[in-house]
């Protein structure tokens, strides 16, 4: 009983609480008006938004998210850009896009540096706070995209550090 009396009368943390998980929303093509209205209520029960670069209607939404100090994350659509059935003309017109689906060769050496530089410049020019790594669908552990994706991600990180 004496041992119980020595405990403080209030709960105490045994270890520091971890940061809560981020909650990110990926707006669909026509969600900008509803999300702008939601933000206008002062309710920002999310950490940020993940934007599709082919949807120009989200420009105002991205600006509002940034004004509130939330994350504006770019999904560069690199997986779709390398998939025959998912590649579109809109993706092909992106600064890092091609008029045909990407191949691993497009991300190697000088061509790869140009694509990643174009992606990094787009991120900075448009005020994004983060970007999803430029990766592709892997079908096995020895998929030829794996070393390409690792190198592209390192190049993107190195390029973005140069902007800081």
DSSP 79-103: HHHT-TTT--HHHHTSTT--SS---
Mean pLDDT of the chain: 89
**pTM exceeds cut of 0.85:** no
**pLDDT of the residue at 3:** 56
Give the model confidence (pLDDT) of 113-161 as tens digits: 999 999 999 999 999 999 999 999 999 999 999 999 999 999 999 887 7
Give the model confidence (pLDDT) of 79-101 as tens digits: 999 999 999 999 999 999 999 99
Give the model confidence (pLDDT) of 36-45 as tens digits: 998 888 878 8
Span 8-27, mean pLDDT?
A: 75
What is the rounded distance in angstroms from the CA atom of residue 127 to the CA atom of residue 150? 24
**Coil, helix or strand at residue 148:** helix
């Amino acid at each position: 009983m004496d041992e119980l009396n020595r405990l403080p009368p209030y709960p105490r943390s045994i270890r520091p609480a971890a940061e809560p998980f981020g909650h990110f929303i990926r707006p669909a093509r026509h969600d900008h008006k509803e999300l702008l209205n939601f933000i206008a209520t002062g309710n920002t029960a999310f950490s940020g938004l993940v934007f599709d670069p082919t949807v120009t209607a989200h420009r105002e939404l991205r600006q509002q998210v940034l004004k509130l100090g939330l994350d504006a994350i770019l999904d560069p659509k690199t997986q779709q850009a390398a998939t025959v059935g998912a590649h579109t003309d809109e993706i092909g017109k992106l600064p890092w896009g091609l008029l045909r689906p990407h191949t691993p060769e497009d991300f190697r050496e000088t061509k790869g540096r140009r694509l990643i530089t174009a992606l990094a410049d787009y991120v900075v020019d448009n005020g994004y706070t983060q970007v999803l790594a430029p990766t592709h669908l892997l079908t096995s552990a020895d998929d030829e995209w794996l070393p390409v994706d690792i190198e592209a991600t390192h190049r993107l990180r190195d390029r973005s550090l140069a902007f800081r």
